[in-house]
Structures are given as C-alpha cells and as structure tokens.
Chains A and B, each alone.
Chain A
Amino acid sequence: MITEKTITDFIYREADLLDTMQWQAWLDLFHPEGRYWMPLEWQQQDPVLQPSLMYEDLLLMKVRIERLAGERTFSQKPKSRCHHLLQAPQILACDPAAGIFRAKTSYIYTETRGDALERFSGWASHDLVRVGDDLKIRLKRIDLVNFDAPFGNIQLFM
C-alpha cells in the first residue's frame, strides 16, 4: 500500500542517492519514459516549444552520468559534489486507485567543485507512478526561484 509516507521516503531517498553519487541507483528510480525537466519560465507549461534549461529522457541522463566518470571529462577534474537540503514534501496527490502520486518539495541545493560553491533555491515536483511494488519517477521538475538569472556551470542534478 502506497501512503503519503511512502512518497516522502521516496523523495528523501532520491536526494540522498544524488548526494552520495549513487548515480545508477538514482537512474533506476526513473520510469523508462521518465523525464527530468528544468524550465526556464515562470509556471512554464510546455517543455518542448518553450525554452528549458534541461528536458532529458533516460538516454540523455545516462550520457550525463557516464560523462561524469569519463577519463577525458576535464570539467570534472576535480569532481563536483552536491548537497540537497529539503523541506518536508507537500503531498499534492496520493491516490493508489487512480495511480496518481504527486509531491512538491522546497529545497536548497549546493554544488561545489574545487574552491567554488554555488547555492540554488527552488521547488522540486515529483510525478510518480507505481511499477510493481515500487514507485518510479515519471517526471521530476525543478523550478529554480531565479530561473532567469545567468548561472555558471550546473554539472550535477538538483
């Protein structure tokens, strides 16, 4: 039985996998048709015909993850690390009968590399689906509070 606590635990675990750089385990949380989306507009509706910072399927996420470990990935020498500080997720839908599970989580994200540290704030929205006994990510959406500001490199996942 999927409860609100199942969703919350899932979101905490997802962030922990990113922070501990267990990339493959993190990828395994996605549904085969899952997407990772980082819009570039306020309350953006369309990921395809409006500009986004990221809108990636599993193939593209695999490319990113494999690149991080590449021998000639010079922007990862030294390597980046990240830290997610999450507020308790707000459950927007938990309807096992309809198979709808959605939550919104306010976060502060830190990415460091060498002596540099960058900090970002925003909201992560999770659209989850049940596959067997597990929840899988159909869509993870990252809305930065200052999506319209110019950033330096963001190399890991928020």
Chain B
Amino acid sequence: MARYGKDARAIGGLVRDAEVHRDVYVDPEIFELEMEHLFPNSWIYVGHASQLLKPGDFITATVGRQPVVASRHTDGSIHLFYNRCPHKGVKIASEPCGNTGKFFRCPYHAWSFKTDGSLLAIPLKKGYEGTGFTDTQANDGLSRIRNVVVYRDFIFARLSENGIGFEDYFGESLSTIDNMVDRSPEGKLAVMAAPIRYMHTCNWKMLVENQTDTCHPMVAHESSAGTAIKVWQREQGDSKETPMAVQLYGPFMSPYEFYEQSGIRIWPNGHGHTGVANSIHSNYSDVEGYLDQMIATYGEKRAHEILGEVRHNTVYFPNIMVKGAVQILRNFIPIAVDRTLVESWVYRLVGAPDKLYERALMYNRFINAPTSIVGHDDLEMYERAQEGLKTNGNQWVNLRRLYESDEEPDVTAVINGTSERQMRNQFHAWAKFMTMDMDQPGEAAE
C-alpha cells in the first residue's frame, strides 16, 4: 500500500520538531523512497584511495543499494561506475577489491571496457553495424557516476546528476577527516585489511542515531564496560599499568556529567559530533616516539593542536561515522528496512608506531565486531526497538531531550553533550534530502 509516494508533504510530516514517526524505521515504502531519493541526493562514502594504488586496481561498493565499482585509470585518475555491463546487466567486478589489468572484461560475452569505463571492444563487432547501436547508452560503456570527489583520499559520490556540491554539503564537518589524516606523521592513511562486518536486523538510522546518543553508554553498556571495570579492579593485584583493553572499555561508564560537559557540535546538513571539549578517547596512554614524530612533521604547537582534538563520534550524514582519534570509519549500509550491514574500517596512520594501529584494531574488535560484547549490548537495543515500533499505541519516537523551541535548522553550534539535538539535526536533513527532488508543498497544484 503506497501511502507516501512522491508526496513531500506526507514525508515531511513524519518529522516533527522533536519527534519522528515510527514509519521512518519500519515502513518498507519509506525505505524504498530513501533508496530512490535520500541516498542519491546525498554524498555517500565509497572507499579510500589507498585501496586503489596502481592502475587497474578496483574496489566494489554500494551506494544506497546500488552496486558500484571504483577504479584507478592508467592516467592515475579515479573513476566510478555502476557495476553492470551495459549489455545484459552482469556485474563486471564481483570481488571487494582486486586488479583488473588494463581493462574490465565482462565474463558473460567478453565486452571489455577501459579503466575509465569507456567501451573498448565487443566480439563480432560488425554484428552491430547499422543496428543503431551507436545511439544507445551501451555504446558509452559503463555508466559513469560523474559527481565524485576524492577528499584527502576519502572517495565520496553523489548519484544524482544535479544537487548540492560536495563542499556545501559537508562544510566544516570535514575537519574530522582532516584531523584523522593529520594524525599521521606523513599526513597519510592506509587501508591495510578488510573491514569487520556485522549484520544488524534493524533500520540503518538507529545505528546512526546511536553514534551521538550519550545517555545510553552507562546504561546499555553497564553489562560490558561495567563488568570490564569490575573484573579489572578485582584482578589487577599489584599491576601499575592499566591494560590497553581496560583503557578502551572503561570510559564507556563515564557519568552523565562527563558527557554533558564534553559537548556536541552540530553542522548543517545533518552532520555533527560528540566529544568537543574532551571525549572517551582523551586518556589513552601515550605511545612511545609518536609525539616526537608529530613534532618533527608539524612543529610543537600544531602537533599538540592535532593530538588535542579528540572528537568522539562524527556522523557524516546520512550513513557513516568517523572516529579520528582511533582511525575508524563505520559504514552503515542499508540492505532492507529492517536489515543493515555495518562495515567498520580501520586506517593505519602511515609512518606512526605499530602500537597505534594495534590499538585501533583492538578498539574495532571490542566495539564493532559480531563477537563484541559492546556490540551485543547495542544490537539488542536496536532489535527490541525494531520490534517495539510495530506497536500502534504510540507511533512517535521522542527526541525532545534539551529541545529549545527556537532551534534553527542547518546551523553550526556547540551544545550540551547529552542533547538529542544532533538526532533532530539528522532528521531535518533526512526530510530535506528525501524531498528535495519532489514537488514541494504549494508548488504541485499550479
């Protein structure tokens, strides 16, 4: 039953100032509309340029639900295409990454394409002479996605031909990516391995909201982080040094006051981050030799500036979260209205000591793996919400914490760290990017 269609007014009505209707999480039609409008209208993370070092290197990904392939062309440029042969639709690349050599070759009928996507050859080409083939889209080769930006090696794409530009879309939020890259003494990150993958039976937005939800860790994670602290206190004996593992788990149990003062910063278009003044990542042990390397590269003042910025979670709307201080990016990939694939990537700080990469990998498996006890805590909440939202007794999700009636949309502001304003910020952006290519209320019936 289509209830929303292309009706911008009906979709906008799902988002009130400080409440959202449950249909945004449970209605399959809304999910279809997200795939058709929200994801194509937004800038979506595709991959990292360190995965495409040599000509012919490629990675596959999805933007929304659509399979794409990014490749490094012979001239060094990066190109992005829809991952289908223009002939019969067969995916031309089936692995997460690889090197295709000088060209992509469809395994079905051997149509081949240069690594910039253009058509190279078709067997028995003369069978197409005089057929009008040159007037078809197939003649152009792989369908290209033209709006691609590689920002400090992070590859983003916007599928819609027309829409908001990259700089306007992300604005100052790019400072989190900057900080993560600057943490390398060589100013460079590298993907060294596949991500940790974790299937969630819930709507993708629940995960995104949770990234700036600072009132849940001390409650939902009492079972994991709280137990870690308890066991360590009992078992530590004469140990003077807190193990890296306990340093990573412990801060999750910080009290409300800690999160209140650490703050949240919001930006236009649904982006925002927790941990402005300080964060759960502030008090990790120093790694020997690292500060010296940073000072050698950046000078004393700048090095301290970079390392003093310990943002917690930065949400890049719609569906990634970046943790600069531990070099992790989580990609919340929508599969269905109640199914989300979470891929959590770790970047190595090129030139930095191994210990930092070891810590980032440890954090990733502690928090983001299907075997992670913190992950178990969170997924349990999302699954219960996905079930609970089927009830008709109350059809609204409450996002009113620290709401002020004069809140302006699409502004930059630093606020109390336990506010739900970043969630309100995301939903304002959600309604905007869902409906920006639909007839707007008042315009339709001219």
> Which A residues are within 8 Å of any B CB, using their own CB?
38, 40-41, 48-55, 59-60, 62-64, 66-67, 70, 72-75, 148-155
Q: A41-B193, A53-B365, A55-B365 in contact; A153/B245 too (CB < 8 A)?
A: no
Q: A59-B232, A149-B197 in contact; A53/B358 too (CB < 8 A)?
A: no
Q: A74-B220, A151-B199 in contact; A62/B346 too (CB < 8 A)?
A: no
* Distance in angstroms between the alpha carbons of A122 and B137 in the assembled complex: 46
Residues of B within 8 A of A62 (CB): 231, 235
Q: A51-B193, A53-B371, A150-B199 in contact; A67/B227 too (CB < 8 A)?
A: yes
- Is the CB of B341 closer than 8 A to any CB of chain A? yes
Q: A54-B371, A75-B377, A150-B341 in contact; A63/B227 too (CB < 8 A)?
A: yes
Leading 4 A-B pairs by shortest Cβ distance: A150-B197, A75-B380, A73-B223, A151-B370
- Is the CB of B222 closer than 8 A to any CB of chain A? yes
Cβ-defined contact, A51 with B364, below 8 A: yes
Pick from B194, B198, B231, B354: contact of A51, CB below 8 A. B194
Cβ-defined contact, A154 with B381, below 8 A: no
Cβ-defined contact, A74 with B377, below 8 A: yes
Q: Mark B350-376, 1 if CB is under 8 A from A, else 0.
A: 000010011001001100011101011
- Is the CB of B425 closer than 8 A to any CB of chain A? no
Cβ-defined contact, B361 with A63, below 8 A: no
Q: Mark B324-345, 1 if CB is under 8 A from A, else 0.
A: 0000000000000000011100
Q: A40-B196, A67-B223 in contact; A74/B379 too (CB < 8 A)?
A: no
Cβ-defined contact, B371 with A74, below 8 A: no
- Is the CB of B230 closer than 8 A to any CB of chain A? yes
Residues of B within 8 A of A155 (CB): 376
Residues of B within 8 A of A154 (CB): 370-371
Within the complex, what minimum Cβ distance (angstroms) separates B40 from chain A? 24
Q: Please name 22 pairs of A and B residues whose Cβ atoms are closer than 8 Å in the assembled complex, sorted by A.
A: A38-B371, A51-B346, A53-B365, A59-B232, A59-B235, A63-B228, A66-B227, A70-B223, A72-B223, A74-B220, A74-B377, A75-B223, A75-B376, A75-B379, A148-B197, A149-B197, A150-B341, A151-B197, A152-B199, A154-B370, A154-B371, A155-B376
Cβ-defined contact, A150 with B222, below 8 A: no
Q: Mark B278-308, 1 if CB is under 8 A from A, else 0.
A: 0000000000000000000000000000000
* Distance in angstroms between the alpha carbons of A74 and B378 in the assembled complex: 10
Within the complex, what minimum Cβ distance (angstroms) separates A65 from chain B? 9
Cβ-defined contact, B369 with A59, below 8 A: no
- Which of chain A's residues has its CB closest to B340's CB? A150
- Which of chain A's residues has its CB closest to B219's CB? A72
Instruction: Tell which of B192, B354, B380, B381 has the most Cβ of chain A within 10 Å.
Output: B380
- Is the CB of B118 closer than 8 A to any CB of chain A? no
Residues of A within 8 A of B377 (CB): 74-75
Cβ-defined contact, B197 with A54, below 8 A: no
Please count the residue pairs between chain A and chain B whose beta carbons lie under 8 angstroms apart in the complex.
100
Within the complex, what minimum Cβ distance (angstroms) separates B246 from chain A? 8
Within the complex, what minimum Cβ distance (angstroms) separates A87 from chain B? 23
Instruction: Tell which of B224, B246, B341, B342 has the most Cβ of chain A within 10 Å.
Output: B224
Within the complex, what minimum Cβ distance (angstroms) separates B292 from chain A? 21
Cβ-defined contact, B354 with A70, below 8 A: no
- Is the CB of B89 closer than 8 A to any CB of chain A? no
* Distance in angstroms between the alpha carbons of A52 and B193 in the assembled complex: 10
* Distance in angstroms between the alpha carbons of A48 and B358 in the assembled complex: 6
* Distance in angstroms between the alpha carbons of A49 and B199 in the assembled complex: 24
Cβ-defined contact, A150 with B358, below 8 A: no
* Distance in angstroms between the alpha carbons of A148 and B226 in the assembled complex: 30
Cβ-defined contact, B354 with A49, below 8 A: yes
- Is the CB of B243 closer than 8 A to any CB of chain A? yes
Within the complex, what minimum Cβ distance (angstroms) separates A76 from chain B? 8
- Is the CB of B139 closer than 8 A to any CB of chain A? no
Residues of A within 8 A of B222 (CB): 70, 72
Mark out the residues of chain B between 191 and 250 whose CB falls within 8 Å of any chain A CB in the assembled complex: 192-194, 196-201, 220, 222-224, 226-228, 230-232, 235, 243, 245-246, 249
Cβ-defined contact, A153 with B364, below 8 A: no
Q: A48-B358, A49-B361 in contact; A153/B376 too (CB < 8 A)?
A: yes
Instruction: Tell which of A51, A62, A66, A154 has the most Cβ of chain B within 10 Å.
Output: A51
Within the complex, what minimum Cβ distance (angstroms) separates A28 from chain B? 15
Cβ-defined contact, A153 with B365, below 8 A: no
Residues of A within 8 A of B249 (CB): 63
Residues of B within 8 A of A151 (CB): 197-199, 370
Within the complex, what minimum Cβ distance (angstroms) separates B206 from chain A? 15
* Distance in angstroms between the alpha carbons of A154 and B381 in the assembled complex: 16
Cβ-defined contact, A50 with B193, below 8 A: yes
Cβ-defined contact, A53 with B231, below 8 A: no
Cβ-defined contact, B370 with A51, below 8 A: no
* Distance in angstroms between the alpha carbons of A40 and B362 in the assembled complex: 13
Within the complex, what minimum Cβ distance (angstroms) separates A134 from chain B? 22
- Which of chain B's residues has its CB closest to A52's CB? B365
Residues of B within 8 A of A72 (CB): 222-223, 226
